[in-house]
Amino acid sequence: MDVTPWQRLARRLNPHAQVLRSWPLTGGVSARVTALEIGVPGGSVERWVVRQYGEANVRSNPNVADDEFRLLRLLMSAGLPVPQPLYADSSGEVFPAPVLVTRYVGGEAVLTPAAPVEYAARVADFLLRLHAVRWSGELPFLQPLPGLSERPAVLDEALAEGMIRDALEPVWPPAPRNAPAPLHGDFWPGNVLWREGRLAAVIDWEDAALGDPLADLANARLETLFFYGRGAMDELTRRYRAGSGLDFAALPFWDLWAALRPAGRLAGWGLDARTEETLRARHRWFVRQAFGGLAVG
């Protein structure tokens, strides 16, 4: 009898497991994500999520599956709502790409919440808890934040890429003012799962890094502005400032760093024309306020 790769993978976790069905999960860009329904002895059924990492992830970190497994285990032990890691494999014996298996978390990403300010407050609370995680020799495997990407031959001037790079390149990276903390690395509403109005889990940790917490905050600020609006972004920032005790002098630089990330990419996000124009208008405002912060500083 031919055994599918899914079945071989399941039996590495439980020799008696049976794969009942599998289905792709949407939203993954850098990885292929699949849900499995597993029958286990005694008649119970479990759901797992299998992440097969893409070439870019593996090229930047060949140990990405093992590192994400270790990080999720640490964050769970700190009480944070993240998927429970079950298994990691980088051997290539089941799938060519490194694989991470986590327990399925029921919930959904909410890009247009009825109460965006309240949602933003819960996001701020999560970031505060994440950045407060302390460790003793457990996080050396996390990569430092990457530096600025190489200046492309063609700049995305619709997103002020040249102006942003001109401001950042002579001073990057900012002088460290805050103790390094574990960072999600790609914090946006699509990576936050909600269930019955509560934050159920934050997912997709393959870009996790160790660095200034303002990097996560800046990216969350821009993405919250994109999808929830300025009022929600202001609440996220106010609540985070009130609870963090950090030095925020470098936030305008980190805001510009976050604003650089969509450059050359936003047009490929598959947005309808109206949504894309809304995001572009909000990006322009975000860049202006960041430069305004530099002028004040």
Residue range 50-91, pLDDT digits in tens? 999 988 888 888 889 999 999 999 999 999 999 999 999 988
Which tokens belong to 200? 């159920």
Tens digit of pLDDT for each residue in 243-281? Answer: 999 999 999 999 999 999 999 999 998 899 999 999 999
Q: Give the pLDDT of residue 29.
A: 62
Task: State how beta strands 45-53 and 31-39 pair.
Answer: antiparallel
Distance separating alpha carbons of residues 91 and 241, to the nearest angstrom: 43
As beta bridge partners, residue 183 has 209
Distance between CA 235 and CA 124 in Å, rounded? 8
What's the confidence (pLDDT) of residue 261? 95
What domains can be seen in the chain, in order of their start residue?
5-103 (3.30.200.20), 116-296 (3.90.1200.10)
The structure's pTM equals 0.93
CB burial of residue 142 (10 Å; 0-12, 13-18, 19+): buried
pLDDT > 70? residue 238: yes
Measured distance between the N- and C-terminal CA atoms of the chain, rounded to whole angstroms:
69
Q: Which residue type, as a one-letter code, is found at position 261?
A: R
Mean pLDDT of all residues in 146-166? 95
Tokens 């949504």 found at: 275
DSSP 33: E
pLDDT grade for 138, boundaries at 50, 70 and 90: low
Please, is 71 exposed, middle or buried when counting C-beta atoms within 10 Å of its C-beta (0-12, 13-18, 19+)?
A: buried
With vertex at residue 219, the alpha carbon angle to CA 124 and CA 175, rounded to the nearest 5 degrees, is: 100
Cα angle: 54, vertex 60, 61; to 5 degrees: 85
Q: Give start and end residues of each alpha helix (H) in the chain.
A: 5-13, 55-60, 64-77, 116-131, 161-168, 213-228, 230-244, 251-260, 273-296
- The CA distance from 69 to 149, in Å, is 27
* Nearest C-alpha neighbor of 206 from the set 142, 125, 123: 142
Q: Give the model's pLDDT for residue 158.
A: 96
3 pLDDT more than 80: no
